[in-house]
Chains A and B, each alone.
Chain A
Amino acid sequence: MSKELTDAIVGMREDEALALVKQELAAGADPVAVLEDAKAAMTELGRLFECEQAFIPELIMGGEIMRGISEELKPHLKGTGEAGTRGAVVIGTVQGDIHDIGKDIVVMMLDINGYDVHDLGVDVSGEQFTAAIREHDAKIVGLSGLLTLAFDSMKTIIEDIVAAGLRDQVKIMVGGAPADVQVQEYTGADGWGNDVGQALKLAAEWTGGAA
């Protein structure tokens, strides 16, 4: 376990973190262990975000550093196939809306926390959501939106999920800056959240695990 690497990532020291990874690999370190140290840093960043000591830029920069580290490790990781064990999640920004920064952070943190996340991107229709739920046997659906038009889009998508006979199979969360209990009730969702911490809590509750 390399505290040095974890500290460098949490400290946002990008060049130092990448240099450490290269050094560790050259010294024969187990690439899976190196990846675990990097993930520990992301979990710590998530915790700091929860207690308002880290903010969105730190999560994004952390994600960037992770991306760089994953690139370094990829040739050394032989088909570890990171299939999440906590269940499949289908997530996307709803039709009519193309905002994705918050959604991307939620995708990253759910993935790190062991969910099998399928990111459908932006401007996603009910048809695309229902197809993805079927294809991946999803347990959780995340509908993201920033614009007020997203509320109606979320409602329609949930109606499509009902019509497809899939509503009982999934728990649905609505997310984004304007999400609140009013939006949850209006759209017919099971939960709502304004940030990644709330998304992780809901996902854990719905899969019976710890957040």
Chain B
Amino acid sequence: MFTDDWNKLTADERMATRLDAWQNVPIAFASPEVKQIYHDRVQLWRDAIALKKPAHVPITPWIGLFPMRYAGFTGHDGYYDYEKLGIAWDKYHQDFQPDAIAMTLAMVPGKVFDILDYKMYDWPGHGTEQDTSYQYNEKEWMKDDEYDLLIADPSNYWQRFYVPRMFGALEPWSMLPPFTDLCEMPFTAPFFAGFAAPPVREMLQKIMDAGDAAMEWLQAFMAIDGKQMATLGIPQMAGSSTKAPYDIIGDTMRGTRGLMLDKFRRPDKLKAAMERLVPLAINWAVRSADATGNPIVFIPIHKGADGFMSDADYREFYWPTFKAVLLGLIDEGLVPLVFAEGGYNERLQAIADPEIPDGRMIWMFDDTDMARAKQIVGAHQCIGGNVPGSMLAMGTPEQVDAYVKDLLAKTATDGGFLLSTGIVLDEADPACYKAFIDAGRKYGADV
């Protein structure tokens, strides 16, 4: 629970409590001036979320490897060298002064994944070129006949079937019995005998080594983000993450193709599995948000984008369990920051669902008609987006300036808007990126 009286608070009170805590974060700022800058920046977010007009349009880009390249480093550096990561993050934030810290979470620690022999993705130094971002290996990590296992007991399924496939080093989990075997004393010791097996002992050592590497990364991450907060007054973009149940199953379990076929071949099992995931998806975000004190929940969404299914299928398969997650988060006083990657033009009516209370979440768009998004979704929730990555990588500063000017005129005149990129930015021409920030400041000051 975030506070002792949490169960007595309404959802509105919970949201206010969490936003206050985020805005008044108890860190040592470099000066009272920087503390005020931080306070004012979070106020921009609060006003936008409440569908008010902030002092200026907040600039909150989705950032991947761009700062590394901007500093003359590679993707590999970002995933393995925390000193270079810190230098790059300092330079990017000092030079551009956005209203949210670049997502350091996406600068994954390669060392942890090397130790655990991670199989689901490739990354620089482990299957890709030195200067790319990590890449997912599309395959059916969950088999089509495993829905019943997941539905019966998700934790058991993850621990003993799915996770052993994700990580080569964690295969021996499949040799161990489920924790639910533990109850009376006579039934307990046999459970622990499994831990004497040499492959299991080796696995446990690797888990501890990965734990050390993960802790090293977490400390570096917190120091890097802490520095941007304390010296520049820039808040973190989110304090927790979660996913839509359809994407949990589609992105890294059944795979894009497997999931599409499941919709035809086993629709009832797919729906039952997604229902099982709703409370888990909510709880994941609540636990992290309670720990970080930042109520913004990062939710990237993928498999419901335009072209991936009909409107009818979206309303039947994708939206119900996703909405349940959103409502669960909102009830906890959290603010979903949904990033709808791809096109969402065909989804705008569905997501402007009147059962979601107004002014409680943020919809960030990519390849979507922003004027329509403003009219349909923006009437109820804060929206954001959508400067194209291709323009920032290959366009001209003049094109970027004109795009931002036009975008803000369409979406930000009455507030409720965050200026952002349409994609997680790995590549950009620094002149174009500067034009994006400058245009945001210029046109966002008095739109």
Contacts and interface: CB of A to CB of B under 8 A. Distances in A.
A99 B81 CA distance: 28
Given A61-B260, A149-B427, 19 more contacts: A55-B307, A55-B309, A56-B309, A57-B260, A60-B260, A96-B132, A99-B138, A147-B132, A147-B133, A148-B389, A148-B390, A149-B132, A149-B426, A151-B394, A177-B342, A178-B389, A182-B391, A182-B394, A195-B307
B393 A57 contact: no
14 contacts: A14-B265, A56-B307, A56-B309, A57-B260, A98-B122, A98-B137, A98-B138, A99-B138, A100-B138, A149-B427, A151-B394, A178-B390, A182-B390, A186-B394
A40 B108 CA distance: 47
B389 A101 contact: no
A42 interface: no
Interface string B254-270: 00110011011100000
Contacts of A151: 390, 393-394
A177 B395 CA distance: 17
Interface string B394-438: 110000000000000000000000000001001100000000000
Nearest to A102: B307
Contacts of A177: 342, 367
Contacts of A55: 307-310, 313
A11 to B, nearest CB: 10
Contact of A14 (B128, B264, B393, B423): B264
A64 interface: yes
A57 B308 contact: yes
B129 interface: yes
A21 to B, nearest CB: 18
A159 interface: no
A12 interface: yes
Contacts of A137: none
Contacts of A60: 257, 260-261
Contacts of A182: 390-391, 394-395
A183 interface: yes
A160 interface: no
Of residues A60, A61, A98, A148, which shows the largest number of chain B Cβ atoms within 10 Å of its Cβ?
A: A148
Contacts of A96: 128-129, 132
Interface residues of A, number: 26
A64 B391 CA distance: 37
Nearest to A57: B260
A148 B128 contact: no
Contacts of A149: 132-133, 426-427
A62 to B, nearest CB: 10
A180 interface: yes
Contacts of B394: 151, 182-183, 186
B51 to A, nearest CB: 31
A151 B257 CA distance: 25
Contacts of B137: 98
Interface in A137-155: 147-149, 151
A56 B265 CA distance: 15
Given A61-B264, A151-B390, A182-B394, A56 B132 contact: no
B423 to A, nearest CB: 7
A96, A178, A183 interface centre (most CB from chain B within 10 Å): A178
A132 B177 CA distance: 51
Contacts of B10: none
A137 to B, nearest CB: 31
Contacts of A98: 122, 135, 137-138
Contact of A101 (B128, B256, B393): B256
Given A148-B427, A182-B395, A57 B264 contact: yes
B427 to A, nearest CB: 5
Contacts of B367: 177
A61 B391 CA distance: 35
B92 to A, nearest CB: 17
A150 B289 CA distance: 36
A147 B75 CA distance: 14
A169 B390 CA distance: 29
A183 B309 CA distance: 26
Given A64-B261, A148-B389, A148-B426, A56 B308 contact: yes
Contacts of A100: 138
Nearest to A104: B257
A14 B264 CA distance: 9
